[in-house]
A and B are shown apart, each in its own frame.
Chain A
Amino acid sequence: MPMEFIKNLGELLKTRSDFFIELLLQHLVLSLIAIVIITVVGVTTGVLIAKSQKAASVVIGLTNVLYTIPSIAMFGFFVSITGIGNTTAIIALVIYGLLPVIRNTYVGLTEVDDQILEAAVGMGSTPWQLLSKIQFPLALPVIIAGIRNMVVMTIALAGIASFIGAGGLGVAIWRGITTNFDEMTVAGSLLVALLAFVADGLLGIIEKRLLRRTK
């Protein structure tokens, strides 16, 4: 039975390869758009709140609360505002992904050794030079770790996005479940996992390179 299942699975992936490649690409594009937005918004927010402890606790508190809302509820909530489709999916993915990026950017920046900052200020760095030449590069490993965390999460979560009419590998999973077609469900899930795995590996390599230089 399992052998037969695996055989069928291989057969399915081969015969319907066009279908799966299209879904994979959709999934990739959907995740990538969300990842880019999250990175830009998250890192910028993290940098901005690093200057004020008060703002930081408010913003991080808020993203923490958002993070605790179950994903399916979040998707459902946005459907009632922005309708079904990719836009809604991206909005929900962005809201989810912000927390790890904002938090890690903030923590990374504020945990840079005071002595190092004092040396840089004492030598006449402008606030921008302090951030761009000292603080940010030193916080980068922590920020990358947050981004890595977010990327895997976003790719996985994008699988649920087809429940609200967005494209991606969730379509295959959803179709498999509704038509009682197990091979289809497993094929979709496997590809999502593979995508997340590869993305994580690539970021891991970048992270390692950065870590080798500092510390």
Chain B
Amino acid sequence: MIEFRDVSQQYQAGKPIIKNLSLTVSQGEFVVLIGPSGCGKTTLLKMINGLIKPDSGEIRIKGKELKEWDPITLKRNIGYVIQQVGLFPHLTIEKNISYVLDIQKTSETFKKQRARELIKLVGLEEDYLPKYPKELSGGQKQRVGIARALAADPEIILMDEPLGAVDQINRAVLQDEIIRIYQTLNKTIVFVTHDIEEAIKLGTKIVVMNQGQIMEMGSRDTIVFHSKSHFADDFIGNKGFLSYLNIVKIAQVVCSFNGNVSEKETMLWARETDPLIVGIRICLENGINQIGVRDAFGQVVGTFDLSCLSRLKF
């Protein structure tokens, strides 16, 4: 879907922002670019929709070289969500959402219908459509920002630290929303963040960058446990591990129940949809080695103990 081959970029001579970088993003992936500020992650993102042009190397979007794309058409085919939301303050929420459709001269009825669909998709009521951005809270604005990026039904969506300005609680809610939207719509997402937890939570592929180069990339398992790069190890560290325990579900490591029925009476329980950290906590809190695991309907599915963790398959 997106292919970078040996791409370099520098604003000033001798100070490269991106150095001989290669990266492939396949259809349906949720790629998170993470790294310290100035590592080139935002530059990399902006190269995808042509806001920044590389000095050398090749970028292919949907199999077509960047130079062959009409720059306006390319941008209209890629959803774009930015850090400070960037909603247009003089337009209603409805007009904001349908802006991409408007500049492509889509019919009024379609625009109206699409705005209605999208506002619900991002979890807001239709009542918000005639309002102006100033009347919305930060989290609501960001939902509208996401709806706006989805308007033209693009296959690729770029998100540049979209939750950077949202408070902790709303951030977690919006992260879940983004995951839900990603899973429902089957889009390819490239997401920039400097928040390690966010990266571990959202990405199907996490790319750790530093000084314009990729230090490590892979699934959250690879990034947290099997990184070959010292930089990535230090950068992700225990914070990444903690968020890993917060995200991976007990269901993935549950062992079969082979104790006797009487044991069930005294057992403590977790749900299979609980994250690993909940299971570990129950064990530590109660000084026990093993707890039982139930599914959402209360049916026993097995047990959890620390030795079960070795069942994680990387």
**Interface residue ranges, A against B (CB under 8 Å):** 113, 115-116, 118-126, 129, 133-134, 137-138, 213-215
CB distance from B234 to the nearest CB of A (A): 32
Q: Which residue of A lies closest to B89 (CB)?
A: A214
In the bound complex, CA of A137 to CA of B72 (Å): 22
Interface of A is mostly: helix
- Check if B75 sits within 8 Å of A123, measured CB to CB: yes
In the bound complex, CA of A108 to CA of B134 (Å): 20
Residue among B80, B87, B134 with most chain A CB within 10 A: B80
CB within 8 Å for A125 and B132 given contacts A115-B82, A214-B90: no
CB distance from B165 to the nearest CB of A (A): 11
CB within 8 Å for A138 and B49 given contacts A115-B84, A123-B99, A123-B103: no
In the bound complex, CA of A118 to CA of B42 (Å): 13
In the bound complex, CA of A133 to CA of B277 (Å): 50
CB distance from B271 to the nearest CB of A (A): 41
What bracket does the count of chain B residues touching chain A fall in?
Answer: 20 to 34
- Check if B88 sits within 8 Å of A116, measured CB to CB: yes
- Check if B51 sits within 8 Å of A122, measured CB to CB: yes
Contacts of A120 in B (CB 8 A): 86, 88, 99
Contacts of B87 in A (CB 8 A): 116, 119
- Check if A121 sits within 8 Å of B132, measured CB to CB: no
Residue among A120, A122, A214 with most chain B CB within 10 A: A122
- Check if A124 sits within 8 Å of B51, measured CB to CB: no
CB distance from A125 to the nearest CB of B (A): 6
Contacts of B60 in A (CB 8 A): none
CB distance from B69 to the nearest CB of A (A): 11
Q: Which residue of A lies closest to B77 (CB)?
A: A124
CB distance from B132 to the nearest CB of A (A): 7
Chain B residues 71 to 123 lying within 8 A of chain A, measured CB to CB, are: 72-77, 80, 82-90, 99-100, 102-104
Cβ contact of B72, chosen from A118, A126, A138, cutoff 8 A: A126
In the bound complex, CA of A126 to CA of B103 (Å): 8
- Check if A115 sits within 8 Å of B51, measured CB to CB: no
Contacts of A214 in B (CB 8 A): 89-90
- Check if B100 sits within 8 Å of A115, measured CB to CB: no
- Check if B103 sits within 8 Å of A119, measured CB to CB: no
CB distance from B206 to the nearest CB of A (A): 24
- Check if A129 sits within 8 Å of B103, measured CB to CB: yes
Cβ contact of B80, chosen from A122, A134, A213, A215, cutoff 8 A: A122
- Check if B75 sits within 8 Å of A121, measured CB to CB: yes
In the bound complex, CA of A137 to CA of B90 (Å): 7
Q: Which residue of B lies closest to A122 (CB)?
A: B80
CB distance from B52 to the nearest CB of A (A): 11
Residue among B46, B49, B103, B132 with most chain A CB within 10 A: B103
CB within 8 Å for A124 and B88 given contacts A118-B82, A119-B82, A129-B103: no
In the bound complex, CA of A125 to CA of B149 (Å): 13
CB within 8 Å for A119 and B90 given contacts A129-B103, A215-B134: no
CB distance from B174 to the nearest CB of A (A): 18
* 8 more CB-based (< 8 A) A-B contacts, given A120-B86, A122-B49, A126-B103: A115-B84, A119-B88, A123-B75, A124-B73, A124-B75, A124-B103, A129-B103, A138-B90
